[in-house]
Amino acid sequence: MPATDGLVIKVVNIAAFLALLGSNIYSVAGPTDIYKNVKDTYVTPSYYANYIWSLIHFLLIGTMCYQFTEKGKTIIVDGVQWRFALLAVLNFAYVWLWGHHWYITSFILSLLVSATVSQIYYIIKTAHRRETLAQEVFLESTAVGYAWASREGDIAGASVIAFSLFAIFIRQTHSKFIHWSAFAFFILSLFNIIKSV
């Protein structure tokens, strides 16, 4: 029965998701909003770019439910295994370090988070063929926002990049080079989205 197979991983995934959700809520609703009090760099996006977490958490709720189905058990429990819990721990550590202004260490952890996300995405894309809308929305879109990938391009991946570049364009007004470069690359990302449709 898929609901009890791999029950330990499923429970750990749910606990990791709840910890991740709680830490992200605390990051915004806690004593200080860490997303507003950041070190300004050339690639710091506008504050609204962090609202993407709301969509990610919504999709992860679906992923946590989907793992209790037969196909979900095959993909999440047998394929992804402990990587989701690892991702949650690394992301929690990254946000905590960043919120405490340990920027170099948090940058290193952000690379580990990206590597873990890429590995999860690779497992989902290569080892499992997408068959249902639930797999597409709750698995592939939460891996890195890369749902609806096609041979011609990647709509969601390009959308995430375009969204981030536009947020950088909006915030970075002190350097005209960064400001307009972000806008130019935003336009290029829009072309990739159009090409993918």
pLDDT of residue 147: 40
The amino acid at residue 8 is V
pLDDT of residue 46: 81
Mean pLDDT of the 105-110 span: 91
- Contact between 153 and 195 (Cβ < 8 Å): yes
The amino acid at residue 92 is F
Least confident of 8-12, 84-88, 94-98: 94-98
What is the Cα gyration radius of the chain? Answer: 18
- The token duo for 145 is 């926002």
102 vs 56, more confident: 102
Confidence band of 28 (pLDDT split at 50, 70, 90) = confident
Query: H-type helices in the chain, by residue range?
Result: 7-29, 52-66, 70-72, 83-99, 103-127, 133-135, 141-144, 155-171, 176-196
Mean pLDDT of the 90-107 span: 88
The amino acid at residue 38 is V
Mean pLDDT of the 8-34 span: 88
CA 152 to centroid of chain Cα atoms: 22
Average pLDDT over the chain, rounded to an integer: 81
Mean pLDDT of the 76-81 span: 89
pTM above threshold 0.85? no
Checking if the pLDDT of 148 tops 50, the result is no
Confidence band of 12 (pLDDT split at 50, 70, 90) = very high
Q: How crowded is the C-beta side of 121, counted as CA atoms within 13 Å?
A: 18
pLDDT of residue 143: 41
pLDDT of residue 144: 35
**Token match 């290029």: residue?**
188
Among residues of the chain, what percentage have pLDDT more than 70?
Answer: 81
pLDDT of residue 190: 87
Mean pLDDT of the 100-113 span: 90
- Contact between 95 and 155 (Cβ < 8 Å): no
Confidence band of 157 (pLDDT split at 50, 70, 90) = low
